[in-house]
């Protein structure tokens, strides 16, 4: 039959399946079924055998498209290749190609968790930025432009160092996909993310005042711009100088607010071993009155074991809660980060005349000497907590001088030489 689109459209539904060849294209024919379906097929011979390749169904595949596909198939036959086998393999690959959301758990299980101490950070970054934006795409559908768009979104959120971390996590995700035979190339090539200029580590008095006053406004507001447990966590950060991740994941059972040694918080060795400290030794943190007040308020709002709970449950996060809230307080970078509170406490204690060793004890730094790492066990005892409490009270007094708050009995201390 001399085929045209109009001629195909006028074909009547047969009582039995018919095969109508295209007189202008060798091997191409239309299979017309009693159900009214019209399916393009290409018949060819390869290595002494007759083979059939399905090209698609009319009108989804037009006459022109069917002829083009048959010409391409014939070219492969001339080369000695089997076009039907190639098409079948490609279809199988498409069926096996995971989406980004499907591959992320495989990446975490097979690579990140066994080989990276920071695998939880990778997991958080991928679940926070990559999966929501690219999760529905197949791995081979992600383009360089898609990755750049995600990095732009991270940068627009106000995070200064996070764009580089997101890019690094994406690079490793696609690199492992190549190693596991899922991809042949990565969309992350030629993408660079320069590190932002380092911000001032210790905050100025004006920044400290803004941090304290804006978190106070959030706690007093009926509809605060900052999630109240996050505002409380930011205050505890500034009052104690501990690591943001350790405060964000504070649990009820770590708190000893009615201890005979005075209110304190014990960060377990297991948690510190997995975090940035990596010492494996527990750390007792003496808590001043303002820190206790903030912790009790957060604990009253929480419905779980975590003191600072996010609205959906579970602990707040350093990036999506603490950092984002500081972005709302201070605006566009450069601005203080959650870790700036730790630098500020250390700097202010040093300016109060406290030696480096005792500042390190407040911050929970691990010893770098053989004596400290091997022979001294950091036991929780009254003398150590008393010494630390004196320093924390001195910092709290200094903090209230900066922010212009009223002094309480707990704020007024005579700063003796630490023992």
pLDDT band, very low/low/confident/very high, at 174 (cuts 50, 70, 90):
very high
Quote the CA–CA distance of 188 and 170 in Å, as a whole number.
7
Residue 98, token pair as written in the block: 């995971």
Secondary structure (DSSP) of 285-334:
EE--HHHHHHHHHHHHH-SSSBSSB-TTSSB--IIIIIIHHHHHHH-SSS
3-state secondary structure at position 93: helix
For a pLDDT cut of 90, what percent of the chain falls above it? 56
Q: pLDDT tens for residues 211-264?
A: 999 999 999 999 999 999 999 999 999 999 999 999 999 999 999 999 988 999
Q: pLDDT tens for residues 399-415?
A: 999 998 654 444 444 44
Q: pLDDT tens for residues 37-79?
A: 999 998 888 888 888 888 889 988 899 999 998 888 888 888 8
Mean pLDDT over each residue of the chain, to the nearest integer: 86
Domains of the chain from N-terminus onward: 5-95 (3.30.160.390), 100-179 (1.10.150), 205-403 (1.10.443.10)
237 Cβ neighbours under 8 A, 6+ residues apart:
244, 247, 322, 338, 341, 342
β-pairing, 18-21 vs 255-256, is: unpaired
């Amino acid at each position: 039959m001399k085929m045209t689109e109009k001629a195909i459209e006028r074909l009547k539904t047969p009582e039995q399946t018919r095969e109508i060849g295209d007189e202008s294209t060798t091997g191409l024919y239309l299979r017309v079924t009693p159900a009214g379906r019209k399916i393009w097929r290409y018949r060819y011979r390869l290595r002494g055998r007759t083979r059939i390749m399905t090209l698609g169904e009319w009108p989804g595949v037009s006459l022109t498209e069917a002829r083009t596909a048959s010409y391409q198939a014939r070219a492969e036959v001339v080369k000695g290749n089997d076009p039907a086998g190639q098409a079948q393999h490609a279809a199988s690959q498409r069926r096996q190609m995971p989406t980004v959301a499907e591959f992320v758990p495989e990446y975490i299980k097979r690579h990140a968790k066994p080989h990276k101490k920071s695998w939880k950070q990778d997991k958080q970054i991928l679940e926070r930025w990559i999966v929501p934006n690219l999760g529905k795409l197949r791995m081979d559908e992600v383009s360089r432009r898609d990755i750049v768009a995600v990095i732009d979104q991270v940068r627009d959120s106000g995070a200064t160092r996070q764009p580089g971390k997101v890019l690094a996590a994406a690079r490793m995700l696609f690199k492992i996909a190549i190693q596991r035979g899922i991809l042949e190339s990565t969309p992350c090539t030629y993408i660079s993310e320069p590190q932002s200029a380092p911000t001032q580590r210790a905050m100025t008095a004006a920044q400290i005042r803004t941090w304290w006053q804006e978190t106070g406004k959030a706690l007093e507001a009926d509809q605060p711009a900052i999630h109240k447990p996050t505002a409380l966590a930011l205050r505890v950060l500034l009052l104690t100088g501990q690591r943001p991740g350790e405060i964000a994941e504070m649990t009820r059972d770590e708190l000893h607010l009615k201890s005979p040694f005075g209110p304190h918080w014990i960060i377990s060795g297991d948690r510190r071993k997995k975090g940035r400290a990596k010492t494996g030794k527990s750390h007792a943190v003496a808590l001043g009155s303002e820190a206790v007040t903030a912790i009790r308020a957060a604990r009253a709002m929480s419905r779980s074991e975590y003191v600072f709970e996010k609205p959906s449950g579970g602990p707040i996060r350093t990036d999506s809660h603490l950092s984002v809230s500081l972005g709302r307080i201070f605006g566009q970078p450069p601005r203080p980060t959650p870790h700036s509170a730790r630098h500020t406490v250390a700097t202010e204690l040093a300016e109060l005349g406290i030696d480096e060793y005792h500042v390190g004890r407040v911050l929970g730094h691990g010893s770098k000497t053989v004596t400290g790492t091997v022979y001294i066990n950091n036991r929780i005892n009254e003398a150590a907590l008393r010494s630390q409490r004196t320093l924390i009270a001195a910092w709290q007094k200094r903090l209230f001088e900066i922010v212009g708050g009223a002094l309480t009995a707990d704020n007024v201390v005579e700063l003796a030489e630490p023992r």
